[in-house]
Amino acid sequence: MNGTLNKVILIGHLGDEVKMHYFEGGNCIGRFPLATNEVYINKTTGEKITSTEWHNIVVRNKAAEICEKYLSKGDKIYIEGRIKSRQWQAEDGATKYTTEIQVTEFTFLTTKKETDLSKSSLPSGSAPDDFNV
Protein backbone atom coordinates (compact mmCIF):
# COMPACT_ATOMS: atom_id res chain seq x y z
CA MET A 1 0.00 0.00 0.00
CA ASN A 2 1.57 3.28 -1.09
CA GLY A 3 -0.82 5.64 0.71
CA THR A 4 -1.46 6.28 4.35
CA LEU A 5 -4.61 6.23 6.43
CA ASN A 6 -5.62 8.19 9.51
CA LYS A 7 -9.03 6.85 10.54
CA VAL A 8 -10.59 6.33 13.96
CA ILE A 9 -13.89 4.63 14.81
CA LEU A 10 -15.24 5.01 18.34
CA ILE A 11 -18.46 4.12 20.15
CA GLY A 12 -18.69 5.70 23.56
CA HIS A 13 -20.52 7.92 26.03
CA LEU A 14 -20.20 11.69 26.38
CA GLY A 15 -18.35 12.63 29.55
CA ASP A 16 -19.72 16.18 29.55
CA GLU A 17 -21.93 18.57 27.59
CA VAL A 18 -20.78 19.82 24.17
CA LYS A 19 -18.79 23.04 24.66
CA MET A 20 -19.15 25.44 21.73
CA HIS A 21 -16.74 28.10 20.49
CA TYR A 22 -17.81 30.57 17.80
CA PHE A 23 -15.50 32.43 15.42
CA GLU A 24 -15.89 35.58 13.36
CA GLY A 25 -17.37 34.69 10.00
CA GLY A 26 -19.90 32.25 11.44
CA ASN A 27 -17.76 29.12 11.86
CA CYS A 28 -17.81 27.20 15.11
CA ILE A 29 -16.41 24.12 16.82
CA GLY A 30 -17.81 21.89 19.52
CA ARG A 31 -15.68 19.89 21.93
CA PHE A 32 -16.56 17.10 24.31
CA PRO A 33 -14.87 14.19 26.08
CA LEU A 34 -15.87 10.67 25.00
CA ALA A 35 -15.38 7.61 27.21
CA THR A 36 -14.79 4.14 25.80
CA ASN A 37 -14.62 1.14 28.13
CA GLU A 38 -12.80 -2.17 28.03
CA VAL A 39 -14.13 -4.87 30.36
CA TYR A 40 -12.13 -7.99 31.18
CA ILE A 41 -11.82 -10.62 33.90
CA ASN A 42 -8.64 -10.76 35.99
CA LYS A 43 -7.60 -14.42 35.57
CA THR A 44 -5.88 -14.50 38.95
CA THR A 45 -8.69 -13.04 41.08
CA GLY A 46 -11.72 -13.59 38.84
CA GLU A 47 -12.55 -9.92 39.38
CA LYS A 48 -14.31 -8.01 36.60
CA ILE A 49 -12.17 -5.00 35.62
CA THR A 50 -13.38 -1.98 33.65
CA SER A 51 -10.78 0.26 32.07
CA THR A 52 -11.91 3.63 30.67
CA GLU A 53 -10.10 5.55 27.94
CA TRP A 54 -10.96 9.23 27.40
CA HIS A 55 -10.90 10.85 23.95
CA ASN A 56 -11.03 14.58 23.12
CA ILE A 57 -13.65 14.98 20.38
CA VAL A 58 -13.89 17.97 18.02
CA VAL A 59 -16.83 18.63 15.67
CA ARG A 60 -17.12 21.61 13.33
CA ASN A 61 -19.79 24.00 12.09
CA LYS A 62 -23.22 22.45 11.37
CA ALA A 63 -22.17 19.10 12.88
CA ALA A 64 -21.17 20.91 16.09
CA GLU A 65 -24.52 22.71 16.25
CA ILE A 66 -26.41 19.43 15.80
CA CYS A 67 -24.34 17.75 18.54
CA GLU A 68 -24.91 20.66 20.91
CA LYS A 69 -28.65 20.59 20.26
CA TYR A 70 -29.24 16.86 20.70
CA LEU A 71 -26.44 15.43 22.87
CA SER A 72 -26.08 15.46 26.66
CA LYS A 73 -23.63 14.00 29.13
CA GLY A 74 -23.99 10.20 29.16
CA ASP A 75 -25.41 9.86 25.64
CA LYS A 76 -23.97 7.14 23.40
CA ILE A 77 -22.55 8.05 19.98
CA TYR A 78 -20.75 6.37 17.06
CA ILE A 79 -17.93 8.52 15.68
CA GLU A 80 -15.63 8.29 12.68
CA GLY A 81 -12.78 10.73 12.34
CA ARG A 82 -9.05 11.25 12.28
CA ILE A 83 -6.41 11.76 14.95
CA LYS A 84 -4.92 15.25 15.14
CA SER A 85 -2.19 16.35 17.56
CA ARG A 86 -1.55 19.99 18.29
CA GLN A 87 0.48 22.16 20.62
CA TRP A 88 0.17 25.68 22.05
CA GLN A 89 1.81 28.02 24.52
CA ALA A 90 0.08 28.28 27.90
CA GLU A 91 -0.11 31.60 29.75
CA ASP A 92 2.82 30.52 31.93
CA GLY A 93 4.94 29.97 28.81
CA ALA A 94 4.85 26.17 29.00
CA THR A 95 4.25 24.25 25.79
CA LYS A 96 1.07 22.17 26.02
CA TYR A 97 0.14 19.21 23.81
CA THR A 98 -3.13 17.45 23.10
CA THR A 99 -4.43 14.74 20.82
CA GLU A 100 -7.95 15.08 19.46
CA ILE A 101 -10.34 13.15 17.27
CA GLN A 102 -11.64 15.37 14.48
CA VAL A 103 -15.05 14.02 13.54
CA THR A 104 -15.94 13.32 9.91
CA GLU A 105 -19.11 11.25 10.52
CA PHE A 106 -21.30 10.43 13.49
CA THR A 107 -24.49 8.62 14.46
CA PHE A 108 -26.42 9.18 17.67
CA LEU A 109 -27.03 5.81 19.34
CA THR A 110 -28.94 7.00 22.41
CA THR A 111 -29.84 10.52 23.47
CA LYS A 112 -31.69 11.89 26.46
CA LYS A 113 -33.30 14.32 24.06
CA GLU A 114 -34.74 11.58 21.80
CA THR A 115 -38.26 12.87 22.32
CA ASP A 116 -37.10 16.18 20.83
CA LEU A 117 -35.92 14.37 17.69
CA SER A 118 -39.48 13.54 16.65
CA LYS A 119 -40.40 17.22 17.06
CA SER A 120 -37.30 18.38 15.20
CA SER A 121 -37.48 21.17 12.67
CA LEU A 122 -34.93 19.50 10.39
CA PRO A 123 -35.88 19.37 6.71
CA SER A 124 -37.58 16.15 5.63
CA GLY A 125 -35.07 13.57 4.52
CA SER A 126 -32.50 14.78 7.06
CA ALA A 127 -31.82 12.39 9.88
CA PRO A 128 -30.34 14.15 12.92
CA ASP A 129 -28.89 10.86 14.17
CA ASP A 130 -26.78 10.22 11.06
CA PHE A 131 -24.50 12.99 9.88
CA ASN A 132 -21.63 13.14 7.43
CA VAL A 133 -19.36 16.16 7.70
**Domains in the chain, please, with CATH?**
8-113 (2.40.50.140)
User: Residue 118: is its pLDDT beyond 60?
Assistant: no
Answer whether 72's CB lies under 8 Å from 111's CB: yes
pLDDT tens string 42-97: 999 999 999 999 999 999 999 999 999 999 999 999 999 999 999 999 999 999 99
Which pLDDT belongs to residue 2?
A: 79
Residue 54 belongs to what H/E stretch?
strand 48-60
User: Residue 115: is its pLDDT beyond 80?
Assistant: no
Which pLDDT belongs to residue 113?
A: 65
Answer whether 96's CB lies under 8 Å from 73's CB: no
Single-letter residue type at 74: G
Single-letter residue type at 30: G
Which pLDDT belongs to residue 132?
A: 58
Mean pLDDT calculated for residue range 19-38: 96
Reported confidence tier of residue 29, pLDDT bands at 50, 70, 90: very high
Residue 88 belongs to what H/E stretch?
strand 76-89
User: Residue 112: is its pLDDT beyond 90?
Assistant: no
Pairing of strands 76-89, 8-14: antiparallel
Query: Which of 79-88, 110-119, 124-133 is modeled with the greatest confidence?
Result: 79-88
| This prediction's pTM | 0.79
